[in-house]
Amino acid sequence: MGNVVGTISFDSVEHHRFHKLVIDNMKTYGLDEANPNHSSFIPDNKDTYSVNISGLKLWWLGDQAAYNKITTFLLETKYALLKDGATNVEMQIDRLPL
């Protein structure tokens, strides 16, 4: 099916506070276990992701469960960011070919 790639980005003068919110949500969904140092690397057989101060990109080896998991996470995180005052919050999810 291919890799599932989700991105979320936002603008704010309080990047660090919103970065913490994103990381806390990742912990809630168990997404922080694949790469606890929050650095990017090429996807393998585990859930992997990369994070920077202004946004988030997640990679999964693509199956429907992964697609559902990342979609739910992105929607919940987008809502939390907007509720907490972030601006220009955008999210996208794509399937990439193998």
CATH, domain 3-96, list 3.20.20.70, 3.30.70.260, 3.60.70.12, 1.10.150.120: 3.30.70.260
Mean pLDDT, the chain, whole residue set: 64
* % of the chain residues with pLDDT over 90: 0
What are the distances in angstroms from CA 25 to CA 8, 22, 68, 87, 96? 13, 5, 16, 18, 24
pLDDT (mean) for 68-93: 82
pLDDT at 41 over 80: no
pLDDT at position 4 is 58
Q: Is residue 22 predicted with pLDDT exceeding 60?
A: yes
Report the predicted TM-score, pTM, of the whole model to 2 decimal places.
0.61
> Averaged over 51-77, what is the pLDDT?
65
